[in-house]
Amino acid sequence: MTPPSEGLNLNIPKAELIEKDTMEISAFLYPVDTSETIREIEWRVSDEKILKASALAGEPAKAKITALAAGRAFVTAKVTTSAGTLYEKQSEITVTVKPAPGPTPSGGSGGGCNAGLGIGILALLALVPCTVRKNKNVK
């Protein structure tokens, strides 16, 4: 005899997303060998400005999560099993802002080129006394 379900878990690959990223999550009953199945599922998010959840067609136990804006929000799955048992499980997901394009490898502020120019000028100035001394000896 297979056991009845004892609860609901969410399979969430990452707890953090970058804006505009998506990921697929799923809900499943435990124990794995339960005789019950998920009959109905409702996916919700606590803040629709931060996350969007949409059930995948033909796979109601799975949802696509889309990160809309920076912040924290909860994803909740509300399930009715084939035996009529109700379960609800939630998990927090953090969305971060997509990093702005970074500086170029040379530093990006132009400091790399200016630093080379400064060293070149110093080298030339170091040669000036030698040139002046040489010219004094010429008659």
Q: Say which CATH number the domain at 40 has.
A: 2.60.40.1080
Whether 84 maps to a domain, the answer reads yes
pTM (2 d.p.): 0.69
Whether 56 maps to a domain, the answer reads yes
Its domain, for residue 87, covers 7-96
Whether 75 maps to a domain, the answer reads yes
For 43-84, write each residue's pLDDT tens digit: 999 999 999 999 999 998 999 999 999 999 999 999 999 999
H helix or E strand, kind and range, residue 55: strand 51-56
Whether 86 maps to a domain, the answer reads yes
Whether 126 maps to a domain, the answer reads no
Please name the amino acid found at residue 21: D
Is 138 a residue whose pLDDT tops 60? Answer: no
Contact status, residue 71 vs residue 48, Cβ threshold 8 Å: no
